[in-house]
Amino acid sequence: MTADEDISQNIAVNEIVKKVELAHQIKLFEISAPHIVSRVLPGHFVVVRAHETGERIPLTIADVRAEDGILVIIFQEVGKSTRQMGMMGEGDSFADVIGPLGKPSHIERFGTVVCIGGGVGIPPIFPITRALKQAGNRIISIIGARSKSLLILEDWMRPFSDELFITTDDGTYGRKGFVTDELTRLIREGSKVDRVIAIGPTVMMKAVSEATRPYGIKTVVSLNPIMVDGTGMCGACRVEVGGETKFACVDGPEFDGHQVNYELLLARQAIYLRQEKEAMELFQRGTRNGEGE
């Protein structure tokens, strides 16, 4: 038995083997998940639970190292559960890591593909971008964030992009503006675009879909509705696509961006905002008072 093999056998399943803070409240975890990584394809996601009484959180997979059994997830601390996750460290283990879930991305040689990632939509667009490049496509990548300090994974995206454009809302890096500004500029300047794939905030994906609609450019978005079990049983992640009800967890998460009812999706995402705010306030008070969970 080699030293490496001995070390790997001492790592528990679902254990965090590496933690990196990519930006303020944006964390990268490398997790030991040999039961998952061999089956992961671009576009897949997992559902994680930090502890036995924790919330089930769906996270799109940023990368895998199948030879090491390592799953890479990247998330932003936006509520109580993700804040608790962010407090975990190397050596801690998740109660559950379930997957791979969802339908994988459709990868083939389309021609020129524009891959767009906004904020923490950049990690899930990365494996798709890489796979599309490896399939022989010409890749134009557009990534954006509110400011330079929040922009992540530029160094991951660049090697698989024939062209890479960066935007920030405040103009601190790249071009000032939104990812849709760059997309619209490319189209209007005559760039041949055969397909667009966009992942990010719902309002961003809606804007991208509206930008491509007049030109009839096939646009794919990855939806992030409220989700519980991740297997299609609970119905919490239902979305309307082309006038039909779909479940993002089993029918998606990727859908035709021109067919999505974004108004309904945004309304459903806002259902529990009050409860989420209250839970976060209680958690913060408990943390300040040393009460833990």
**Domains in the chain: how many in total?**
2
Q: Give start and end residues of each alpha helix (H) in the chain.
A: 3-9, 34-37, 80-86, 122-134, 154-157, 179-188, 202-212, 248-251, 262-269, 273-288
Check whether 1 has a pLDDT greater than 50. no
Q: Residue 237 — pLDDT band, cuts 50, 70, 90?
A: confident
- The pLDDT score that the predictor gives to residue 227 is 83
Q: Residue 62 maps to which CATH number?
A: 2.40.30.10
Q: pLDDT for 2-29, tens place per residue?
A: 434 444 556 789 999 999 999 999 999 9
pLDDT the model gives residue 4: 43
| Percent of the chain surpassing pLDDT 70 | 92
Per the prediction, the chain carries an average pLDDT of 91
Q: How confident is the model at residue 230 (pLDDT cuts 50, 70, 90)?
A: confident
Is the pLDDT assigned to residue 259 strictly greater than 50?
A: yes
In this prediction, residues 225-238 reach a mean pLDDT of 83
Res 272: pLDDT: 63
Cα–Cα distance between 257 and 210 in angstroms, integer? 9
Same domain, yes or no: 145 and 63 = no
pLDDT, residue 136, reads: 98
The answer to whether the beta carbons of residues 215 and 187 sit under 8 Å apart is yes
Prediction pTM value: 0.90
Percent of the chain with pLDDT over 90: 75
Give the structural domain span for 128: 105-222
Which one of 161, 191, 222 terminates a domain? 222
196 and 182 part of one domain: yes
Domain final residue, candidates 222, 255, 271: 222
Residue 198 pLDDT exceeds 90 = yes
